[in-house]
Every structure is written in structure tokens, then in C-alpha cells.
Chains A and B, each alone.
Chain A
Amino acid sequence: MRQLKRANILTENIIFIILNLVFLSILVLFLFSKMGAAAVLEEKYAKEIALIIDSAEPVMTVTLDMSDAIEIAIKEGVAPGKIVSIDGNVVKVVLGGEGGYSYSFFNDVDVVASFDSQNGGRYIFFITEK
């Protein structure tokens, strides 16, 4: 009888601990999913690239490590070469299927964004005079 009670207490505690662990894991997963969400990274990189271009002088080449964004884009089915596009003075970053995020820069230069296929995970920006 005493052994049966001890076994019950042990089972209850194990279930309690497992439930707690499951609960905390879900919380941590939620946090990480928000930290690396495509929409957050799209905004971050669009603004970062716009600020880089605003600070750049022609003729300049800038290399940017975007490995976290490229990883997400590949998962979402976006080709790495199509993540960053520059139309006039507007940078657009697309990591998912919802149209991406655009941000403009005021530096009147020509910019070509190119995926560095040899050293994957990086984008190269060629800044030249208009």
C-alpha cells in the first residue's frame, strides 16, 4: 500500500515537471520565433541598407552579412538573389511571401545589390555615381 502511494507521488511529480518543461519550451520557442521573424528582419535589413547607402560615397563597395535573413528566405522559398532589390532610391527586402519591406534613402547614387554566391550569406552593394 505504502509502495503504491510512493509510486503515485513519483508519477505526479514527473508529470508536473514534464508539463512545466513543455510550458517553458513553448515560451522559449515563441520568443525565438519572434526574434527571428521574417517581418522583423525585413524591416531591420531594409533600414540598415538604406542607412549604409546614405553614409556611402561613390565609388564604394559594401559587404553585408545577411546569413540569418538568407536562411529564412530559403525556407520561405525566396531565391537568395532576389532578397534585396533597389529601385531608384528605394531598398526592398523580401524574405517571405507578403511583399517585403521598403525604405528610401536620400543619397543620390546608383546602387547595385548582388548576392555573394561564392561566400554565401553575404550581399555586396556596389555604389557608383549617377
Chain B
Amino acid sequence: MGDKIVSVYWFAILFIVAGAVVFMVYSFYGEPYDVRNAEAQKLTDRTVECFLNGVRLDEFFRDEGFSDNFLENCDLNFETEEIYGWEKSGQYFVSVEISDFVSGEEIFSHEEGNSDLAESCALNGRGFPVCFSRGVYVLDSEGNQYKLSILSVVRKTEKNVN
């Protein structure tokens, strides 16, 4: 009789363990891989590379029409898959600012993509777009010093966060 009671309790424990394992597996594998941080970092790196010629600041950003064809000039494509209405709202944003390192005077500034996304950078939480910013000290071919500031934002929330 005692053995039977023990075995009933034993199976109850097994079912509790099984329930916990199933819950943990579903909560772990049901969660999508969040790759937006890697994407935002890479987008920043690509944008920095776009403004550099080797290790020097490339002067071609001063060309007329550079900003109008920013994506083409920097080999970027902000189109996304047609899902969740992404194609209408835009899932990327990049902001570039070049200023004189000594005086701080702004020399060039450009924003590309969905500018609404930048507003969420001050907010914390998994459901918000991921922001990544970087400031780079660069010299031009004549040795003048500049600061290149890049902010990249990636949304794509629906495919990266539950």
C-alpha cells in the first residue's frame, strides 16, 4: 500500500517536472532570435566605411547630389520583405553628422530612412527599435581633423521579439 502511494507521488513529481520542461522549451524556442543589435552595428560600420577612403575622410560627400542618392552611394538598400506593413513604414534609419573636431562646427548632416525610429532610442525595452551610435575621429587628405557621428536604428520588432 505504502509503495503505491510513493509511486503516485513519484508520478505526480514526474508530471510536474515534465510540465516545467515543456514550458521552458516553449518559452526558449518560441522566442525569436534577436539579431537587430548585430544589424545596427553592421549598418553603422558600413556607413562609416562609406565616408572613408582607406583611413582618410573621403571628400565625395561634398559632391552635389550625394545626399539625394545616399543609399546608392553607400551601397545600402532599406527595402524589406512585404510583411506586417514594413514596406510602408521603413525599418531602418541612419543619421550621419560630420563636424570639425576642433571648432565643433557642423560640416555635413544627413538622415536616411524612417526618422520616427530615432525617437525611441531614449526608451528602454525589448519591444523598441535597437539603436547603435558611434563617433569616429578622422583626418582628411590634408590632415584636418573631423568627427564623424553615426546613429543607426533597426526596428524589425515583429520578427525579433515576441
A residues neighboring B (CB under 8 Å)? 12, 16, 19-20, 23, 27, 30-31, 34-35, 37, 40, 43-44, 47, 50-51, 54-55, 88-90, 102-109, 130
Contacts and interface: CB of A to CB of B under 8 A. Distances in A.
A106 B79 CA distance: 7
Contacts, number: 68
Contacts of B75: 107-109, 130
Contact of A106 (B25, B39, B159): B39
B18 A27 contact: yes
Contacts of B79: 88-89, 104
Contact of B21 (A27, A88, A105): A27
Nearest to B78: A106
Given A12-B3, A31-B21, A108 B77 contact: yes
B154 to A, nearest CB: 9
Contact of B35 (A12, A16, A47): A47
30 contacts: A16-B7, A19-B11, A20-B10, A20-B14, A23-B18, A30-B21, A31-B25, A34-B25, A34-B26, A34-B29, A40-B29, A44-B33, A50-B35, A51-B38, A54-B42, A54-B43, A88-B79, A90-B80, A90-B81, A102-B83, A104-B80, A104-B81, A106-B76, A106-B78, A107-B46, A107-B75, A108-B75, A108-B76, A108-B77, A130-B75
A20 B32 CA distance: 33
A70 B147 CA distance: 47
A2 B75 CA distance: 86
Given A31-B25, A34-B29, A51-B35, A106 B83 contact: no
B51 interface: no
B22 A30 contact: yes
Interface string B84-115: 00000001100000000000000000000000
A109 B33 CA distance: 24
B71 interface: yes
Chain B contact residues: over half helix, strand or loop, or mixed? helix
Given A105-B77, A108-B75, 12 more contacts: A27-B21, A34-B26, A43-B32, A47-B35, A50-B35, A54-B46, A103-B159, A104-B81, A108-B71, A108-B72, A108-B76, A130-B75
Interface residues of B, number: 32
Nearest to A129: B75
A44 B34 CA distance: 10
Contacts of A20: 10, 14
